[in-house]
Amino acid sequence: MRFDQLNLKDKLLESIKRLGFEELTPIQERCIPAILEGRDVVGQAETGSGKTVAFALPVVQKIAPGKGPQVLALAPTRELCIQITDVFKDLGSGLGLKVISVYGGVGIEGQIRDIPSADIIVGTPGRILDHLGRKTISFSNVRHLILDETDRMLDMGFIDDVERIINSVPKDRQTLMFSATISYDIKDIMNRYLKDPEMITTRTHVDTSKLKQVYYDIYPHNEKFSLLVHLLKHTTPGLAIVFCATRHEAEIVVKNLRKQGIDASAIHGGMSQHLRTRSLQALKENKVDVLVATDVAARGLDIKNITHIYNYDVPKTAKEYIHRIGRTARAGKSGDAVTLLVKRDHDNFRRVLSDPKIDVDKENMPHFKKIPFDRCVGRDRKSHRGGYKGRRGGSGPNDRRRSGGPRGRRSSHSRSRR
């Protein structure tokens, strides 16, 4: 189905054409008509499925500017908040709609000034509650409530905050809830706060036929960083995300990568919003080749053309692993998910492989140059900036990780990604 087959405002169709949208994705094709009809909707979809446009477009179609806040969208992280805001702005650019982001880590005074004249507010639960407590925000005219990445908001401990916000919005509203998974808590929210919702499940996962999942069993452990540098320089032609377990580890890895002439930038929860935004923009604009990220900071990021995911630190659960690797092998393109495994990572890796639908093969160790890894590099602001203008041509894991052997681990795990 094409966007021009929808009965949309002319200005909205102009924005869609300018943005290059033509064919609806599966989640858009099912969600947009239901939302336009006024139905409450629960959508089960991953980042990259087109779900933001699926809820933003019909909402933009249904509101008019100048009536105060009519739409409230909640997101778990500042980055996702900004991405949703940008989509609303792009779609509503010709309609005179004012869209603002409301999140922590930045000054509140500008938000207080802009909220009353906004038509659409996109915010994180903590800062929205801050405004409610200050009485600097009113939801009296809100008729559309959107909960995006609901599972992540609950995982981050926001369930009480989310419920307080829901109860602050008029009951005479349309509620749209999107989540990668539908847990018991999400079903509870759905049953208590949504009215006869339409359940839409179009899980556009990674194309497993185009995704190569491998791991390297590294010994000795201090060669992990050397292998990462070798793979980035010799087998990674496009953009890459390197996942680390902690902010500290991400900082150290970035600085060591730069010493090897690799354009790298970090993103983690300890950075200011300005620096986090700069890191994302640098990657999107091809000013850096590698984004070194923690899971929380990277949640919800939809970055195009990622060819490689590197698990520098192994995630603790299969769910986290699946979310990480879902950022590559999209839109018919191929991608690689590479896990760098040392002894202390074996426990986590066994938990990942406990999911019978995950398939990871052991890769033979290549020959690579041994590179020193400096764990004593001092912290400075440059660690957050775009990398040096170089070309891609030690120990990496968190020391607090438990150690354990790979008891009975097979060299090839015959499983497929969910």
Q: Is the pLDDT of residue 413 over 70?
A: no
User: What is residue 221's DSSP assignment?
Assistant: G
Q: Where residue 105 falls among pLDDT bands split at 50, 70, 90?
A: confident
- Helix ranges, 116-260 (H): 125-134, 150-155, 159-166, 184-193, 224-234, 247-259
123: enclosing H helix or E strand: strand 120-123
Per residue in 146-179, pLDDT (tens digit) is 999 999 899 889 999 999 999 999 999 999 999 8
Q: Is the pLDDT of residue 61 over 90?
A: yes
pLDDT of residue 48: 66
Per residue in 207-220, pLDDT (tens digit) is 667 889 999 999 98
Report how far residue 346's alpha carbon sits from residue 359's, in angstroms, rounded to the nearest whole number.
16
Domains of the chain are 3-201 (3.40.50.300), 211-384 (3.40.50.300)
Rg (CA), the chain: 22
Instruction: Give the mean model confidence (pLDDT) for residues 224-242.
Output: 95
Instruction: Give the mean model confidence (pLDDT) for residues 249-262.
Output: 95
Q: Where residue 401 falls among pLDDT bands split at 50, 70, 90?
A: very low
Instruction: Specify the pairing of strand 211-217 against strand 239-243.
Output: unpaired
Q: Is the pLDDT of residue 199 over 60?
A: yes
Specify whether the CB–CB gap between 99 and 172 falls below 8 A: no
Instruction: Give the mean model confidence (pLDDT) for residues 2-8.
Output: 90
The reported pTM is: 0.68
Q: Count CB-CB contacts under 10 A for residue 145.
A: 23
265: enclosing H helix or E strand: strand 264-267
